[in-house]
Structure 1
Amino acid sequence: MSFAAPPPHDGPPPPGRRQRLRALWADRHALPRFGFWLFTRGLAVLAGCTGLYVLNGFLIGWAGAYEVLAGMTSPAAMRPQWCAWPLSLAGWAAVPAIIGGAAGYVITEQIQAHHARDLEDVLGELRRLTQPPDVPPSSGSGQ
């Protein structure tokens, strides 16, 4: 009876899904400002709006939920009204706030990336560039 040798072990096992999610959550502060905002605050608001939409989709119908969310139909015209009013408010205030916040962060990042330099820095660099190059040292071999 001959048994096959076990395969060589190359190190620790790869991290599981739970460990990868925990590491991703721990690294959220390393994200840029827009990514951090979207990952923390934006997801919570988006989840709330999605939950309201799904609840209204089941209670008043998907087309009715879309019309209330988009502001095409008054929530007073829907039955039951108790769930249509929060969806209407989300469509009127929360969704534009998410879009506006995202656009604001993107625009701010672009402005900061292309921010003008100080005049003294530019003049100092121009002075350095207009100076003649240094003379290279002689080889010193004398030949």
Structure 2
Amino acid sequence: MTQPSSSSPAPRSQRKPLRQRWASRLAGFRSLGKWLWREMKWLLIAVVALFLISGLVIGWVEAYEILVGIRSPSNAKYSVLAWVLSVVGWIIVPALIGAVVGYLWVRKVRDTPS
């Protein structure tokens, strides 16, 4: 009898159940919150605090639009605070998103059997 090749999928009886397969695929998300809090807690706190202060001083809609880059910070009431919020929106927020994606990618590569 011939052996199945290593590239062919495993027979249905040898496969993991669907729940275990999904759990292994999403394993990186379980520890993502812990990793974010452990590694970037002060940066996250600073970004949230800056947004809260800007929301209270400038206005919530305007602070959001400046953070996202929809509105120019030069037209805001408190332009220094708005410029800081704009820089955070252009530099730190994409860096945080990149860090999360990089973390999830490393977890996926590390947990994938070779």
TM bucket (normalised to shorter chain) is 0.5 to 0.7
Q: Which has the larger radius of gyration?
A: 1
Take 2:57 and 2:64, find their aligned partners in 1: how far apart are those partners? Answer: 12
Aligned residue identity for 1:90: V
Runs of 5+ unmatched residues, structure 1: 1-31, 117-143
Aligned residues: 85
What is the CA RMSD across the aligned residues, in angstroms? Answer: 1.9
1:37 Cα shift?
3.9
What whole-Å deviation, never above 9, does each CA across 1:17-76 have from its counterpart, x for those lacking one? xxxxxxxxxxxxxxx985664122322111111111111111111110000001001111
Aligned residue among 41, 44, 66 for 2:42: 44
Q: Which structure carries more relative contact order (alpha carbon 8 Å, separation 6+)?
A: 2
What fraction of aligned residue pairs are identical, expressed as a percent?
34
TM-score, length of structure 1 as denominator length: 0.54
Take 1:51 and 1:87, find their aligned partners in 2: how far apart are those partners? Answer: 11
| Richer in helix (by share) | 2
Which aligned runs of 4 or more in structure 1 are off by greater than 6 angstroms? none
Determine the structure 2 residue equivalent to 1:110.
108
TM-score, length of structure 2 as denominator length: 0.66
Take 1:47 and 1:84, find their aligned partners in 2: how far apart are those partners? Answer: 18
